[in-house]
Amino acid sequence: MTVSAVLFDLDGTLTDPFDGITRSIQHALEKMSAKAVAAADLRWCIGPPLWDSFRVLLETDDKARLDEAVAHYRERYTVTGLYENSLIEGIPDVLAELSSAGIKLHVCTSKPHAYAGKIVEHFGLMPHFGKVYGSELDGTRSAKTDLIAHVLSEEGLAAEETVMIGDRKHDLIGANANGVKGVGVLWGYGSREELAAEKPVLIAEKPAELGSLLEA
């Protein structure tokens, strides 16, 4: 298949943000006087927009209450949680391989771009990417369907020559909605069953598999 551009999810795809995200959610729940949840039981919160996660955790659709929870989350995340993160082994090599082959690379994450850019820079990945795309702080374009559409428009990319790579179903749902090829990865937070249900063109077990597919 012809591939001219690749969009990479961030959390669970390029980096493992487990500690920073779960600890910041726990901080927010404590501030909201909500029931405490063990970190291991918050794995499902890595990937979806924060508002969606807090809607379940707090059992409410009250936007003011959800906004308050997100604000408490960011109190900790922007100072500490942002850097409680680790780079996925093998990712720098894949990015170098793809970019050297002339493929345009962009980050496409539900995380606010203000934070995502800092993480990408922190791990020295920015030279490989054209731009880091993320949501706005108010949640605008936190849904992958909306964000991918925005990236395609902003960059003038052909959907049929673009690939979205991510570890959760949200990445693949967004890809399918925009006519973009979806690739699921198993080193993040989505199961094979979750990813397979969205019919990706590939489910990769290791980062090294991405290069061989995209250059085929």
Q: What's the one-letter identity of residue 79?
A: V
Q: What is the pTM of this model?
A: 0.90
For residue 189, what are its two tokens?
């937070």
How much is the pLDDT for 213? 62
Low-confidence ranges of the chain (pLDDT < 50): none
Catalytic residues: 9
Write phi, then psi, for 116 (nearest 5 degrees): -60, -40
User: Cα Rg for the chain, rounded, in angstroms?
Assistant: 17
Length of the chain: 216
- Tell me which residue of 78, 149, 89, 140 sits closest to 115, measured CA to CA: 78
In angstroms, rounded to a whole number, what is the distance separating the alpha carbons of residues 129 and 118? 13
